[in-house]
Amino acid sequence: MTARKIDTILPSRPTIEGAGVRLRRAFGPHEVPLLDPFLMLDDFHSENPADYIAGFPWHPHRGIETVTYMINGIIDHGDSLGNKGTIGSGDVQWMTAGSGILHQEMPRPYTGMMQGFQLWVNLPADNKMMEPRYRGIDSKQISSFSPTPGVDVKVIAGKVGDAEGPVQDLVVAAEYLDVEMKPGKEYKHKSHKRHKVFAYVFHGGAKFQNSQKHSSTAGHLVVLADGNEIDVKAGEDGARFLLVSGEPIGEPVAWRGPIVMNTEQELDIAFQEYWSGRFIKSAAKQ
């Protein structure tokens, strides 16, 4: 086994999105193509509803998938496919925008710390104009296991041992785990050699690859170098982090707002269609 060493550690940065939601961006346009096939990861958390209640009103997407994972809180969702529902604590929404979708995500006031994440996954050129689809996943559908005492792993996507994530038929091969570790515990995880891998720490702190110099605390993104094994040791407060990997696409990225294509010309076409009312290619469910 070849252990993955730390490539880069990045602090998340404060950002305002939607209609005024205060969040922290772990990575985004400035980091392309560091984490190909992943484009962006936002961490929205606050005990003050004023920081998030304005939400993300109706807006378009094309050429990507958005993955929303709620730790605590409730978000109301609606889209141009006719889907309506809520994303509650522990739930996941995996939405493939494909050729074009309009949606809104509106958080409800929550007592205590509301926290969730949204990950953007790029789509290959051959799939950017695919049929949009929506998958709402209840927390009860998510498999979890304990590889060693004091370590608990939730598998949102991918397969780890006998545990398989509920998100099937992925366009881009990916693994999405939520790892929680008690203080001082160690976790070794085999990873696909070809995949790009990152961890986003959102509670406590951890050392990756037994590094004595680099302890990553909450709000930090850890980008791991090539290899096929990940070695993590939790700090004195324990650790909880997202561990995500995916197979790189290796294609040009043209990005403007909520739309990601391969060329500027494709972006121009997308926005012209949006402004002229020709953006949506798929009718709502009857």
pLDDT lower than 70: segments of the chain: 210-214, 283-286
What is the DSSP-derived secondary structure letter of residue 47?
S
Question: Which tokens is 76 given?
Answer: 């109301």
* CA nearest neighbour of 189 among 142, 224, 213, 218: 224
pTM here is 0.96
Question: What is the rounded distance in angstroms from the CA atom of residue 147 to the CA atom of residue 206?
Answer: 17
Q: How many CA atoms lie within 13 A of 99 on its CB side?
A: 12
What tens digit of pLDDT does each residue of 26-68 get?
999 999 999 999 999 999 999 999 999 999 999 999 999 999 9
* 224's tokens: 């791991």
d(CA 3, CA 208): 10
Q: Which of 39, 141, 133 is nearest to 92 (CA)?
A: 141
> Please, how many CA atoms are within 13 Å of residue 116, restricted to the half-sphere of its CB?
27
Q: Which residue reads 């990507």 in tokens? A: 64
Hey, what are 21's tokens?
A: 């939601």
pLDDT of residue 281: 86
Contact indicator for 89, 138 with CB cutoff of 8 Å: no
Residue 286: the pLDDT is: 44
Tokens representing residue 248 in the block: 């790189």
Query: What's the CA gap between 106 and 181, in Å, rounded?
Result: 31
Distance between CA atoms of 180 and 158, rounded to whole angstroms? 17
DSSP letter assigned to residue 85:
E
| Integer Cα distance of 283 and 156 in angstroms | 29
Domain architecture of the chain: domains with CATH: 6-276 (2.60.120.10)
Q: What is the pLDDT of residue 284?
A: 64
In angstroms, the CA 199 to CA 178 distance is 10
- pLDDT value of position 211: 60
| Cα–Cα distance for residue pair 169/20, rounded to 1 Å | 34
Residue type, 221: L
Cα-based angle 139, 140, 141 (whole degrees, multiple of 5): 90
The DSSP secondary-structure symbol of 274 reads: H
Of the candidates 80, 82, 67, 70, the one whose C-alpha atom is nearest the C-alpha of residue 108 is 70
